[in-house]
Structure 1
C-alpha cells in the first residue's frame, strides 16, 4: 500500500508558485481547501491501490490440489471467506455460529468458503478438522497468502465479504464475526453486535452496503509479509 501511494504521489504535479496571491484567498480558506483536496487525493490513491491488489493472480487450492479461483463464474449475491486454522481455539469456538450463518444465508444465494492460510497444515489435517466441526461448504487452501493479501486478513477467525463488482468482486466487509471476543482470552457471555450477519442481511435485502472493517480477535496468521 505504501509503495503504491509513493508511486502515485510521485506523479502528482506541484502546486502553482503564487497560489494564494493569484486567487486572492485568505490563509484560513486556503488551509481548508488544502485539507479537503488532500482527503480527496488520498481516497483516490487508496482506491487505486486496492484495485491493483484485487487484480493480482490468485493462487488458491482445493483439497484435491487443484488450482481454483472462487470469483470465476460467480453469480452469488455475496461471497464470504472465513479464514481459519485447525488448532486455533477461538476459530473452533466459532464453529456453531459459522454453521448457523451458512444455514441461514446459503439458501439466499450467499456462497461460503472456509480458507486455511497456514501452509504447514496438511490436507489430511484439514479434512479431519472440517469433519469434526461439521463444516459442509467449500474449502480452500491459501499457502501463498494471495487471498490473505487481497483481503488484508491478519488473524483467524476473520471474515471477508465480497459483493458483485469487477473481475474479483468488491470487498464490502473484513473483520470479526461478532464482538463476543474483546481480547485474546477475554470474551463476553454473548455478543452484542453480530457484524457479519448484519452485512449479509443488508446485501441479500438489496440495501446499500458501505465498505467497512472491524478489528478481529484471534490467532495471528503466520508468515505475514
Structure 2
C-alpha cells in the first residue's frame, strides 16, 4: 500500500467521521433549545431580574413574584402587532384576576418610543392592568431568547418554563387607521390561556411551544 493510499484511507475512516461528529454536536447544540426559541428550553429556570423600573413608578424583581404561575411578555409600544393584541392581553389578565397568576410585560428596545416615558403613555392609553417594566440592560430579553413582540413565556410554581410563543393561533395587527385585523380570522386556539389553566390544574400544557409573530426585538451590539 502506498503512502498516498494509506493517507486517503485514514482520512476517510477516521478524520472525516470525527469532523462530522463535531459538526453534529455544534449544530445540535444550537438547535436543542427549542423548535423556535434558540436560547431557552422547556423546563429551564426563569431568568432572575432585579429592580426593573415600571410604568407604575415602582421597581420589580423576580423575587417579588410569588404566585403559582408567572407569565412574562416581551412588548414594544411602537409595534402594530403589540397594539393589535393589546386588548386581548388585557382580557387575559382580567380572566385570571382571581387566580394565582402574575403577568408582567417588559420592554428592552432602546428606541425612544419604546422606552419608559413612552411606556407610561402606552400603558395608560391601552388600559394596561399588569406590571410593565423596562429593561435597559436587555439582559432579561437575551436570557429568554425573546426575538419578537409580543412573545410569551409561561412559568410554573417552580419557575421553570412550561410554554413559550404566541398568545393564540391568529395574530392581530393594528392598521394605520386604528382598526384591528386577525391574520387567520377569529382565534380558535388560545395557547397562553390553555397553558395557564393546565398549570393551575397541576398539569402540563398540551402545547409547549409555538412560533411568536410580531416585530423583531432590537438588541444593541456589544
Retained in 1: the 8 A contact 2:46–2:161? no
Alignment of 1:1-225 (within 5 A): 54=45, 58=49, 61-63=52-54, 68-70=60-62, 72-120=63-111, 121-165=114-158, 169-181=159-171, 187-209=183-205, 212-223=208-219
Alpha-carbon separation, structure 2, partners of 1:179 and 1:55: 24
Retained in 2: the 8 A contact 1:62–1:68? yes
Alpha-carbon separation, structure 1, partners of 2:172 and 2:47: 33
Alpha-carbon separation, structure 2, partners of 1:210 and 1:163: 14
Structure with greater contact order relative to length (CA < 8 Å, sep ≥ 6) = 2
Aligned length: 178
SS at match of 1:91: helix
CA RMSD of aligned residues (A): 3.3
Report Cα offsets for 1:84-113 as digits up to 9, x if no partner. Answer: 111101111111111111011131110010
Retained in 2: the 8 A contact 1:171–1:211? no
SS at match of 1:190: coil
Retained in 1: the 8 A contact 2:47–2:144? no
Alpha-carbon separation, structure 1, partners of 2:120 and 2:162: 29
Where do 5+ consecutive residues of structure 2 fail to align? 1-24, 174-180
Alpha-carbon separation, structure 2, partners of 1:143 and 1:176: 24
- Structure 1 position 145, deviation (Å): 1.9
Alpha-carbon separation, structure 2, partners of 1:100 and 1:152: 25
SS at match of 1:108: coil
Alpha-carbon separation, structure 2, partners of 1:197 and 1:76: 16
Alpha-carbon separation, structure 2, partners of 1:129 and 1:182: 18
TM-score of the two chains, using structure 2 as the length reference: 0.68
